[in-house]
Chain A
């Protein structure tokens, strides 16, 4: 008989410990099915949340060997194969306050979601009595983001949140903001964009965990990117994030190559760059990462344009001016 072991992170409000549960392998089991079986047959004190068990309510996300999955939507076979092991560690979602065992606290997450200014503020030509009009194409544009079931997997494994939650929001919050910003029924897309700038829009590390872990195939990182584009186009051009991105675009259109030397002062401003990065720059010069002459040339004169720069400029222009 093949035996599977779940090593589950337990927490009773005071004490943390790991508890092992073993059970017979069964190919029809999902991770949630295993948890339910453990609770009902071995240990009623094991706590986890579950509701629909068919991947639409978002209740049962947990971590398997440190990686978030939707438990009801994940077959036991899948995780056994992924990890090439019959013993797995099950823990609660990361970046959430843990209430007990695999149960996390959504109360503050709900309040954080509220700061993303959710809910449609419809155009003036629509009323509650008339409803709205929207083309099938415009519906298709937001359809994917509406698949979000607030399972928290994206937030769990987000590298930025793991470091600091005070100046960033959960990836699902950005998805929620973007689906209203992109909604043709919205009176003012910027309503949903402005707050996100202050909520860390430019601090996303682009680690791609949210895109990887979303059980619905949503890419919150793409929503962050789209919000950045809207923000920049509407005038959010100051600050390190926007200026850094602008430097890349400028370089692409000018020479086709990044000018690393100009990048720093462009991003941070001349004074901050000159004063704040002295030690950094000195080390680069000392170790030969940056030759003084080469650096000065790059700073004053820029890279040589690539072969075919005219063609590249035309291509980029074409897209920049296309609707």
Chain B
């Protein structure tokens, strides 16, 4: 397994989900992962640019892949939408559009081969669990954790090929390796509503409130998600969702790498746990 990756943080890791960046980098350092940020990476389009101009977004992501190829490294993402956008782009290039898109890239003196693979920190952690589990200093045995995979982490299976989209286990493997107890809720593989939180606000409110409420009622201390967009939706919008729907409101939502970081003994501040809207203080007190 490679230890060095071309790191594609994605836009939100630099801004509203900065704590995910902090935790990803802290965990990477602890377990010996060398993340080299791709110089000049651009927004993946997040499905929204794709809606207005599919091919412009494809070309922009082809550029991102070409940049990684220049580094001679595979790409590591920490955001499921970024992973989906980049993997979809790579698939389209390899299935016949490479020459055509390279005409666009040529205007910037670039070419893409499609050789750089794209992986997600979730998959990497799940695959390498025997390597980092021995480094766990603080087993989180007091915690019950409800996994919330996020749509783009597992669907569509033609693109997100890592594991079963019907019954994935990567998160449960990681939660268990951290010493915590996995809790299964029906919302585990459902949508948080983030991508339509503006045009379909009422729906997003209900999806958020339901996930938070169900997790709490199932005895979970928190929701855990590998996608920072889900985290932002479920955390930042949880108070508004509670106001609209009347449930949830007190369920902290952790980024995957924050849980791993806590188990590895890293300090909560370093993992950005002070930046959450729904306070994780209660959870932190338990460990």
Contact = CB atoms under 8 A, between A and B. Distances in A.
A312 to B, nearest CB: 5
A88 to B, nearest CB: 11
B134 to A, nearest CB: 28
B274 to A, nearest CB: 6
B166 A207 contact: no
A164 B104 contact: no
Interface residues of B, number: 68
B196 interface: yes
B56 interface: yes
Interface string A210-249: 0110000001000001101100100000011100111111
A168 B274 CA distance: 38
A204 B242 CA distance: 22
Interface stretch (A114-122, A129-137, A276-284): A276-284
Contact of A284 (B55, B165, B206, B277): B277
B56 A225 contact: no
Interface in B176-222: 190-191, 193, 195-196, 198-200, 202-204, 206-207
A211 B11 contact: no
A317 B157 CA distance: 32
A205 B191 contact: yes
A208 B41 CA distance: 26
Contacts of B52: 228-229, 232, 245-246, 248-249
Contact of B59 (A159, A219, A319): A319
Nearest to B19: A289
A289 B67 CA distance: 30
Contact of A206 (B11, B190, B196): B196
Interface string B250-269: 00000000000000000000
Contacts of B274: 287-288
Contact of B166 (A83, A246, A289, A290): A83
A319 B104 contact: yes
Contacts of A241: 196, 198-199
A205 B208 CA distance: 13
B239 A279 contact: yes
B128 interface: no
Contacts of A152: none
Contacts of B152: 206, 208
B48 interface: yes
What interface size band does chain A fall in? 35 or more
Contacts of B16: 260, 284, 289-290
B155 A288 contact: no
A47 interface: no
B198 A312 contact: no
Given A205-B193, A312-B63, A211 B203 contact: no
Interface in A242-266: 244-249, 251-252, 256-258, 260-261
A68 to B, nearest CB: 11
A318 B59 contact: yes
Contacts of A164: 202-203, 206
B180 to A, nearest CB: 23
B137 interface: no
B199 A67 contact: no
Given A203-B196, A258-B46, A228 B277 contact: no
A125 interface: no
A279 B59 CA distance: 39
A251 B274 CA distance: 29
Contacts of B57: 252
Contacts of A180: none
25 contacts: A160-B196, A167-B200, A203-B199, A205-B193, A205-B196, A208-B84, A208-B152, A208-B155, A225-B50, A229-B51, A244-B198, A244-B199, A246-B52, A248-B43, A256-B40, A256-B41, A283-B236, A287-B274, A287-B275, A289-B275, A289-B277, A290-B16, A306-B40, A308-B108, A315-B59
Interface of B: 11-12, 14-16, 18, 39-43, 45-60, 63, 67, 84, 103-105, 107-110, 151-152, 155-158, 164-167, 190-191, 193, 195-196, 198-200, 202-204, 206-207, 236-237, 239-240, 274-277
Give 8 nearest A-B pairs by CB, closest first. A311-B108, A307-B40, A208-B155, A308-B40, A159-B191, A258-B11, A256-B42, A241-B199
